[in-house]
A and B are shown apart, each in its own frame.
Chain A
Amino acid sequence: DAGVTQTPRHEVAEKGQTIILKCEPVSGHNDLFWYRQTKIQGLELLSYFRSKSLMEDGGAFKDRFKAEMLNSSFSTLKIQPTEPKDSAVYLCASSWGRQNTLYFGAGTRLSVL
């Protein structure tokens, strides 16, 4: 089975640009999560979907971050406009049922100049 696929692996953006990160969850999983990972803050939840419905939109990340789940097998995370403090690794993960186990993608490393 294919795992979680994230593209691109690396993204470099100028301050103020719009970037879109993509994620394909494990086939059959109905929960999808976007996390931001930095050394200082660790993993922070940005968004959470259950069966394509947005369940949590990350509070403090709402204004410039927007995640969408266009269908059960594809999600995007848009950051608009980007700021240097957005430089981080963005991880997508999926799960199913009431399992606590998350399956993570390899992440997108974003650098904002």
Chain B
Amino acid sequence: AQSVTQPDARVTVSEGASLQLRCKYSYSGTPYLFWYVQYPRQGLQLLLKYYSGDPVVQGVNGFEAEFSKSNSSFHLRKASVHWSDSAVYFCVLSAVEGADRLTFGKGTQLIIQP
């Protein structure tokens, strides 16, 4: 069985501050990992993905994530947030290639304060 836990339902950050959104997964092998973002009244969009290799992966809009097998984590980071980053962020796991076996976290709502 596989699972994804995003321990923070809501995170509030001041504009210009750094950000880390946490993601822990449970899976015995090496998973495929993703971060998706959902802006208000829109569908989910892919931010970045990890398949193998360098544990730090770069995504769009200055986001990056770091895979840690020892910690079973895939935390999302950004050096300086902008008000437009306000959205819900989902950590997603897949044990296999293909989009038919994705496990979604419950999401973390990011609120940017001026």
Q: Which residues of chain A have a CB within 8 Å of any CB of chain B?
A: 4, 31, 33, 42-43, 48, 50, 55-56, 91, 93, 95, 98-102, 104-107
Contacts and interface: CB of A to CB of B under 8 A. Distances in A.
Contacts, number: 54
What range describes how many residues of B lie at the interface? 20 to 34
A63 B42 CA distance: 28
Contacts of B100: 31, 33, 48, 50, 55-56
Given A100-B34, A101-B99, A93 B43 contact: yes
Nearest to B38: A104
A33 B92 CA distance: 15
Contacts of B46: 101-102
Given A102-B44, A107-B43, A33 B99 contact: yes
A98 B104 contact: no
B102 A100 contact: yes
Contacts of A104: 43-45
B44 A42 contact: no
Contacts of B104: 42-43
Given A31-B100, A55-B100, A100 B32 contact: yes
Given A42-B105, A42-B107, A43-B104, A100 B99 contact: yes
Contacts of B94: 100
Contacts of B105: 42
7 contacts: A31-B100, A33-B99, A93-B99, A100-B98, A102-B36, A102-B99, A105-B43
